[in-house]
Structure 1
Amino acid sequence: MDDTAVRILVPAGMLGAGFPPETVERGIALGADVIAIDGGSTDSGPFYLGSASPKTTRAQVECDLRVLLRAASAARIPLVVGSCGTGGTDAGVDWVAGIAGDIIAAEGLGLTVAAVYSEQKASALAGRLAAGAVHPLPPLGPLDARTLEDCTHIVGMMGHEPIEAALRGGAQVVLAGRATDTAVAAAYPLMRGMPPGPTWHAAKIVECGGQCTTNPRAGGVLATIDRDGFTVEPLDPAAACTPASVAAHMLYETADPFRMREPAGTIDVTRATYRALDERTVRVEGSEFEPAAQHTVKLEGARISGYETMSFTAIRDPRITAGIEEWAALLLRVLGDRVRATLDLGPDDYAVDIRLYGHNAVLKEREPDTGPAREVGVMLLVHAADQATATAVAKVANPLLLHLPAAGMSYLPSTAFPFSPAETERGPAYEFVLNHVVDVADPAELFRTEYRKAPADA
């Protein structure tokens, strides 16, 4: 085994997103030592953590996993998946492990799988909170134990240590709960003794696969880490990595483009240099890693905030679109009056959000284009403590969304509902309520690992 360099193959930014299988074949031919891929994120909001459900279908995950498991087995290299099932809950790990187990059995691959669980019990965290071991991250303040109890699911975001321990324990496939994106790629090279500065920086650059290349849709990347730095190249021969495309990924999902905290410490790329070795490959040197005085694990938790019902209509009447914000304000006023009169509900009993797509629904008051829109899609979102109330308010809004005239109009306009019925019940709405870290003495103490050994005759 060559311990002077370690090669990480990252086929895509997320398991289930898809990738050309031939790019994985090329990465294996180039000498990949490990395959690493993220399986989830909080990018898509709190629903997936709160409900412990994946944003991808089984078919998507199964398609990608089959390619990766076959490649890892044939090359005799490990496969690491992090944040399984989108939110990294125990149910998410079991879901991906079930799919992997079916593939391994059907293909006769004989691989040993480690499931690393990251879900936390509110009662255990309450004890740590009482002991002063839980601390808020900005902008949140001190945590109340009741907030922990309100969460439907809480996960701890693991660093590389539990993943490395699973690999050392004999796992050929590691399916991890919630993990930092970088830990998924960093665990194996750190286990092989690669320096932390280049390893963590490389892991950050390749976390999203081809996003650090000139063609993010073309497939993944291969990073080669050595004692002095790392190189990164795309797995599609037609794509390229450039100093700009590689350096730019330090801007992705970071508050500081030069420093980024991990559970074990801080990546510092202030002195890093980016140099093109050829038209496709970039060399990075000068990356550093500062170990933390106190190892911490970030907590993520979601709770049900209420229930939502949505209506959507489209307006093309120029009399309304010319003053669409005034019309929306009128809609809110009239709706409030009618809800009070018909449902006997006050403003504290529900909330209404109106989003004007085609006008300023994305940028709100920062929208630079101040001219009237040709057509506007109006999304009305009602939030209440129960589904029946949310739907009732949306139904009161129905005739207003369809026929409310703007001030000064002498006729009833007709807008366009795209669906019948116009109201869509979205069910429970979730909100993130934890942005805290917990001090730990052992980086792996909050996590649990189960090994699923391959059959002896596999």
Structure 2
Amino acid sequence: MDTVRVLAPSGMLGAGWDHATVERGIALGADVISVDGGSTDSGPYYLGAATAKTTAKAVARDLRSLFMAAAGAGIPVVVGSCGTSGTDTGVDWVAGIAAEVLAEEGLDLKVARIYSEQDAAGLKEYLDRVHPLPPLGNLDAETLESCTHIVGAMGHEPIVEALRAGARVVLAGRATDTAVAAAYPLMMGMPAGPTWHAAKIIECGGQCTSNPRAGGVLATIDTGGFTIEPLDPASACTPISVAAHMLYETANPHRMREPDGTLDVRDAEYTAVDDRIVRVTGSKFHHAEQHTIKLEGARVTGYETMSFTAIRDPLVLAEIDTWAELMRTLITQRVGQTLGLADGEYAFDLRLYGHNAVLGELEPETGPPREVGVMLLVNAPDQATATAVAKVANPLMLHLPTPSMDYLPSFAFASSPAEVERGAAYEFVLNHVVDCAPLELFRTEFGVEGKTRA
């Protein structure tokens, strides 16, 4: 093939799109449809609990759009990081939804499921081949065993293997965002530099356009570079909007590591073909001597209970930092007095939304805020303790005056009861890569019936 056209309808399966934009991509000659099913953007909970961020109805709606378009055009569909975090349960969850959609539409498409979840016992055999990424240190067996779920972020190779085996729908576990879009062009012989660069630009669908809400994009990859075109006729790509996506989720806007090597865009040139389409040339890819797979793992850090109140009292707001410090002191004292808990047996965070909750000390605005939402987040070894701490804080969250006030103010709780139990809280504890062959950590099965279907 002289060119390969990759249709990216959106940045995430389940986010929704106008089906007309997919139809337009098909009319423009798309050779493959690729879409990401998740990422680590939304935090460790989805990996730790093996739970999807998206709802089944939204995923079904999007899969129906893709399957109908792809079946009519005779092209494959590739979905990566199924179920948000790419666990085996997530792959089987999406496969189950896919099975229902295929049956309802009377479509017979060969489905491949690629599993990327790892077990701690198996990974212990690789410890001498595991290397930490900043800021973490060396990995030990205890950390592996503490994880509820671990996944490896696959490159393009397992997806290519499934496509070569005849899959028309590939449902992959955790994969790099770019591998999902790069797999088919690389299989068809497109050069690595333009392919990986194009895959990076289209990973979030229309985010590289003038109207990210309007739909996805079509990347046309050839031997000399690639072009990017929005699927919504009213949207546009510009050299700046396309180049800017190399700033997104990268430590270095000029270089980006993949399992197979490093994308290098230092010499890339972005040229407007017209007022909607951009052509990119000069992208390079440096193949690594050693293939690596990034490991992601999450573990339970405790159980959380949240309480939220709102302050509009101008006297309290004029001394909001003093008030917050008094609140922290009194919560600690009263929890010790009533529950007998010492530091280290629980933890809490007090965040003042409307006053430095997002930027903290980096906040450039000064002066008293007009209103503040106070969020108390308690973490403890069990849910009952977390809720007990929040209940001890309840009177303070409702009526605490500043040191200069001689009366009790009243604040407004956001809910009743004020304490909202959030269940288990998780943290990422793996940020490591393991030296291995491209297919070594992954398992591919065909059909829609998974072994761990939720």
**The TM-score by the shorter chain falls in which range?**
over 0.9
Q: Determine if the alignment matches structure 1 residue 58 to structure 2 residue 70.
A: no
- Give the counterpart of 1:294 among 290, 298, 305: 290
Alignment of 1:2-401 (within 5 A): 3-129=1-127, 132-401=128-397
Listed one character per residue, the Cα deviations across residues 331-378 of structure 1 (whole Å, up to 9, x for unaligned) are: 111111111111101011111100000111000000111110011000
Q: Distance in 2 between matches of 1:193 and 1:174?
A: 19
Q: Determine if the alignment matches structure 1 residue 426 to structure 2 residue 405.
A: no
Instruction: Tell me how far 1:323 sits from its aligned partner.
Output: 1.2
Instruction: Tell me how far 1:260 sits from its aligned partner.
Output: 0.2
Q: Distance in 2 between matches of 1:403 and 1:207?
A: 48
8 Å CA contact retained: 1:111, 1:453:
no
Matched AA of 2:76: P
Matched AA of 1:359: H
Could you say which residue in structure 1 is the equivalent of 2:440?
Answer: 445
Matched AA of 2:50: A
Q: Distance in 2 between matches of 1:223 and 1:340?
A: 60
Specify the SS of the correspondent of 2:123. helix
Specify the SS of the correspondent of 1:342. helix
Instruction: Tell me how far 1:453 sits from its aligned partner.
Output: 7.9
Q: Distance in 1 between matches of 2:353 and 2:373?
A: 5
Specify the SS of the correspondent of 1:283. strand
Listed one character per residue, the Cα deviations across residues 83-117 of structure 1 (whole Å, up to 9, x for unaligned) are: 00000000000000011111111111110000000
Flag structure 2 segments of 5+ consecutive residues without an equivalent: 450-454
Q: Distance in 2 between matches of 1:282 and 1:418?
A: 48
Matched AA of 1:83: S
Q: Distance in 2 between matches of 1:298 and 1:404?
A: 48
453 and 156 in structure 1: CA distance in 2 versus 1, 3 angstrom threshold: closer
The percentage of counterpart residues that share the same residue type is 71
8 Å CA contact retained: 2:310, 2:371:
yes
8 and 337 in structure 1: CA distance in 2 versus 1, 3 angstrom threshold: same
Could you say which residue in structure 1 is the equivalent of 2:411?
Answer: 415
Q: Distance in 1 between matches of 2:104 and 2:15?
A: 23
Specify the SS of the correspondent of 2:406. coil
Matched AA of 1:433: V
Q: Distance in 2 between matches of 1:281 and 1:418?
A: 47
Matched AA of 1:135: H
Structure 2 length as normaliser, TM-score? Answer: 0.98
Q: Distance in 1 between matches of 2:389 and 2:165?
A: 56
Q: Distance in 1 between matches of 2:213 and 2:426?
A: 31
Q: Distance in 2 between matches of 1:396 and 1:172?
A: 57
Q: Distance in 1 between matches of 2:231 and 2:333?
A: 60
Listed one character per residue, the Cα deviations across residues 62-90 of structure 1 (whole Å, up to 9, x for unaligned) are: 01000000111110000000000000000
Instruction: Tell me how far 1:218 sits from its aligned partner.
Output: 0.5
Q: Distance in 2 between matches of 1:234 and 1:325?
A: 48
Specify the SS of the correspondent of 1:433. strand
Specify the SS of the correspondent of 2:348. strand
8 Å CA contact retained: 1:302, 1:431:
yes
Q: Distance in 1 between matches of 2:373 and 2:166?
A: 55
Q: Distance in 2 between matches of 1:292 and 1:380?
A: 47
Q: Distance in 2 between matches of 1:420 and 1:387?
A: 18
Instruction: Tell me how far 1:144 sits from its aligned partner.
Output: 1.5
Q: Distance in 1 between matches of 2:91 and 2:340?
A: 46
319 and 453 in structure 1: CA distance in 2 versus 1, 3 angstrom threshold: closer
Matched AA of 1:10: A
Q: Distance in 2 between matches of 1:309 and 1:434?
A: 25
Q: Distance in 2 between matches of 1:290 and 1:313?
A: 53
Specify the SS of the correspondent of 1:345. coil
Listed one character per residue, the Cα deviations across residues 152-175 of structure 1 (whole Å, up to 9, x for unaligned) are: 000000000000000001100000
Specify the SS of the correspondent of 2:207. helix
Q: Distance in 2 between matches of 1:224 and 1:95?
A: 32
Matched AA of 2:213: R
- RMSD over aligned Cα atoms: 0.8
Q: Distance in 1 between matches of 2:444 and 2:210?
A: 38
Listed one character per residue, the Cα deviations across residues 128-172 of structure 1 (whole Å, up to 9, x for unaligned) are: 11xx10110011001111010010000000000000000001100
Q: Distance in 1 between matches of 2:154 and 2:11?
A: 18
Q: Distance in 1 between matches of 2:103 and 2:332?
A: 59
Q: Distance in 1 between matches of 2:432 and 2:448?
A: 35
Q: Displaced runs of 4+ in structure 1, greater than 4 A?
A: none
Instruction: Tell me how far 1:292 sits from its aligned partner.
Output: 0.6
Q: Distance in 2 between matches of 1:388 and 1:213?
A: 48
Could you say which residue in structure 1 is the equivalent of 2:400?
Answer: 404
Flag structure 1 segments of 5+ consecutive residues without an equivalent: none
Q: Distance in 2 between matches of 1:278 and 1:360?
A: 44
8 Å CA contact retained: 2:96, 2:448:
no
Matched AA of 2:438: P
Corresponding pairs, count: 449
Matched AA of 2:232: D
Matched AA of 1:303: R
